[in-house]
Amino acid sequence: MKTGLRLNQSTKTKLSTTLKNWLPILQSSNEELEETLNEMIKDNPYAEVKNHSMQTFTHQNAQNKIPKKSKGAPEGFENFCFYEESLYQILQDQIAPPLFPTPLSQEIAQEIIENLNQEGYFEGDLEKIAQNHFCSSCEVEKIRKRFAYLEPYGIGALDCFESFHFQLQQSELNGDAYTLADEILQDLNNHFKYKNHPLYLQVMQTIKSFKNPPAIDFLAQEQYIKPDLFVYFDEGKIEVKLNDFASPSIEIDSSIQLMASKNIQEQFIKTKLKEARLLVDALEMRKATLQKIGLMIVEYQYDFFHGGEIKPMKLKDLADEFGHAPSTISRAISNKYLECDRGIFPIKSFFSTALDEDISNSAIKDFILDLIKNENRKKPLSDSKILELIEAKFGIKIVRRTITKYRQKLNIASSSERKKLYEMSL
């Protein structure tokens, strides 16, 4: 028993030492890891970074017989787009005074965000939004035009032409240059007729910098994400596998000869080979750490991989297991992903975030769904009322904007819209 305890303590000590000495390796994503390693071996002639990312796990999926979709997986779950949430959050954070000073203006702005397409253009119905908020369409239009001051500039415009005008308002052009730019945008296809104007080149340089479409930077992020872990079913059992093809490795070549005295050469070789082996050990420890994280997630989130919801999981539990502060482990799992038959998910999404550490976002969303399902159809619950019920149920304090965001993510209409839908169904 004592021997086993000593071995366990030795393993934890080795893990702690490796994580402390080579924490950048653990914290690096697959895309960053090669750069991190190259920086570490730049003065080491005996170590070379090998990239295996040309091979992907896509071909492995067939061998592991990963099913397309779990029973009970929500529709569209595997089509989750990371860039949409990022853009949504950026805009949400800007819906505040002084640009949107009243609760009504903020609610209208949020509904405008909901009616943006993937390119960032507004494609909603002004009249419908006005009816939802018992105001005029002119008032809604005034609030929409305030989007000219939101980043990314050009967002919320009706078309490319208006988006360019939004971006022009936020450009550094002024005076005659601004006037010329405005004239050129009126007839952009014939901009060459202004080529003799002394400010033509300056203005065109600015216009060429405008984003088209305005959300293009976020669309560019939609790409295949190389997961660090795979969770799949093999003959009814859940398996966790590392994506070895996505991360680089270190190869050591001790055959290189150096021009130096024998004593200096031997000491140099000994030092550099030791450094290279430590890097190899650190990489192996990184793999072992990610594998263990994957196993812990499967243990805690077993129901999720069978079609259920993500349950509350404390980051502190993971931190205690590795003997480090939660902030350290949080950085270690940042920008790392897990792929299963339900899609690709940030590892961080399996831990409680943005709310009390004992309450996950999924628990809040489940509660909202249950409330809406059982609400009085003649008097649907407002976001403010849902907020009150959530605070009473979970004993936490959150802002109404968070409830609105969750409701929109769940594709639940506003209370006024739901009331109309209920009336139509009756």
For 50-89, the pLDDT digits (tens) are 876 544 433 343 333 333 333 333 333 333 333 345 687 7
Give the C-alpha separation, 292 to 392, whole Å.
37
- Residue 110 CB neighbour total at 10 angstroms: 20
**H-assigned helices in 248-357:** 262-300, 315-322, 326-333
Q: Which of 269-273, 341-345, 396-400 has the lowest mean pLDDT?
A: 396-400
Give the C-alpha separation, 276 to 22, whole Å.
12
Burial class (CB in 10 A: 0-12, 13-18, 19+), 175: exposed
Q: What is the mean pLDDT of the chain?
A: 78
Looking at the predicted structure, is the pLDDT value of residue 220 above 60?
A: no
pLDDT tier, 262 (very low <50, low <70, confident <90, very high otherwise): low
| Averaged pLDDT, 148-166 | 91
Contact 15, 289 (CB under 8 A): yes
pLDDT tier, 150 (very low <50, low <70, confident <90, very high otherwise): very high
- Quote the pTM value: 0.45
Place of tokens 């991360």: 247
Q: Which residues contact 52 (CB under 8 A, 6 or more apart)?
A: 244, 245, 246, 247, 248, 249
CATH topology (fold) of 361-425: Arc Repressor Mutant, subunit A (1.10.10)
Q: Where are the domains of the chain?
A: 10-63+225-317+340-347, 82-219, 361-425
Q: What is the pLDDT of residues 363-381, one digit of tens each?
A: 788 889 889 989 998 889 9
Looking at the predicted structure, is the pLDDT value of residue 357 above 50?
A: no
**Choice between 291 and 356, residue whose per-residue pLDDT is larger:** 291
Q: What is the pLDDT of residues 401-410, one digit of tens each?
A: 778 888 887 8
